[in-house]
Structure 1
């Protein structure tokens, strides 16, 4: 009986977590009039209490057509998001993988101190480092450019922390055997470390994608020109006439992150478990 109760409670919790996605999807299929009836108070169209129906009365794809065919701004911001995400992930791989390998497999002076500093930087919210990052980027004349968002994200410490855990799990005997066979340190890293630590690398990429795709504070801080804004800053533009398009845009924006999450769910779970292990 206890298992049934636990299963029922987990089912309720899962339904509560999934409801916002269902809310977005059904809202994107409702007509403008139906949305205004449901969200009148939220959209300042009267004092009628907000309500919602599980299924739209008259389903329509009109909002998706307007978004995908009549909203060039949406596509421009979509490609801005794609460029930012790709740049950040590429930087995290180029800088983070060697850094994680070095911390995991080599002994050098002040190693523990530097890794502790990494962890402290990882725990700091963006608001703490915002001013210093802005001053550095301004001095480099990179503000109001995509690299202003890409560079801080590319050198994030969190992917290093995730990959470090996986690299630590590689048996030392394998590395010693490779050295006896004449393999150099570069060959060990490329042909032993990366393949055996691929789960950690993929996990870090997935987590990095989910974070980079939904950036809000960094673009608002470093990008003054709206033509450089990513898609995450398009969504708050909600008005009574564009409520349906906003719902549709939310669904389309959610799809890439949802697909990446579903494809890499197993790796993501491994990364979360690795991050929870204490040093």
Structure 2
């Protein structure tokens, strides 16, 4: 019993540490400008001393949200840029990744293992490694400074294929053979067996992809030169130190879609993480 109480207390402490940054943002977003300047004055003015902070504001206000949502057209423009980029990437990844994963999982063809091994290598490469060849290729295609320069490379990401491959491998071969004996073609097998049985993996890929591409920073900075094409993830770095309240409110609004998507697909996300950890 004593060990159980200690474990619960330890987990509660860890949970509090994890949740504190979100509580910090929420508190800052409803603080008045004067209170924020008092609490964060040392950090904002680059002076000496320590920053103080209280969990509950003395004079809570929704002024920063009103100013952000009603008087900041740039915020809404970048918000819809994020929606277009993230939506384009996710739709493209599903259209490309699902058939590719099904092919790797259920069909035999020459150099199958070599190609899948190359997929794994590409998945492990960070953006900094592929940045220069991607830039040169996109520049040759005249896509630099368009949102397609961010969408297209992400559409052919290998990570969704890897996740979906694990789910499709679990589809019983006997079920596929029974469907073929009953007269189903490969198209019907894919549409009516593969997709329903792999739906949890598809949702896991959707959730993981949304969490990643909603917060893109490096790719838009490299490929997008025009500020009117920037996504919402680049809005916060351009807020000056005198608008701390707006920054806190913008952070909360930016966090909300990702939080809702995570809550909606958290069970499938766990399945995706488990599937990616299973060795072949």
Q: TM-score, normalised by structure 2?
A: 0.98
Q: Secondary structure at the match of 1:208?
A: helix
CA distance in 2, matches of 1:238, 1:148: 25
**1:130 matched residue in structure 2:** 131
Which has the larger displacement, 220-229 or 3-12?
A: 3-12
**2:11 matched residue in structure 1:** 10
Kept in 2, the 8 Å contact 1:219–1:230? The answer is yes
Q: Which deviations, in whole Å up to 9, do the C-alpha atoms of 1:10-56 show, x marking residues without a partner?
A: 11111111110000000000011111111112111643421100101
CA distance in 2, matches of 1:11, 1:207: 26
Q: Secondary structure at the match of 1:256?
A: helix
**1:252 matched residue in structure 2:** 253
CA distance in 2, matches of 1:277, 1:132: 32
Note if 1:87 corresponds to 2:81: no
C-alpha root-mean-square deviation of aligned residues, in Å?
A: 0.9
Q: TM-score, normalised by structure 1?
A: 0.98
**2:56 matched residue in structure 1:** 55
**1:42 matched residue in structure 2:** 43
CA distance in 2, matches of 1:190, 1:16: 45
Kept in 2, the 8 Å contact 1:40–1:49? The answer is no
CA distance in 2, matches of 1:144, 1:48: 43
How many positions carry a matched residue from both structures?
Answer: 279
CA distance in 2, matches of 1:184, 1:176: 11
CA distance in 1, matches of 2:23, 2:79: 23
Kept in 2, the 8 Å contact 1:43–1:239? The answer is no
Consecutive unaligned residues in structure 2, runs of 5 or more? none
**2:192 matched residue in structure 1:** 191
**1:277 matched residue in structure 2:** 278
CA distance in 2, matches of 1:240, 1:136: 38
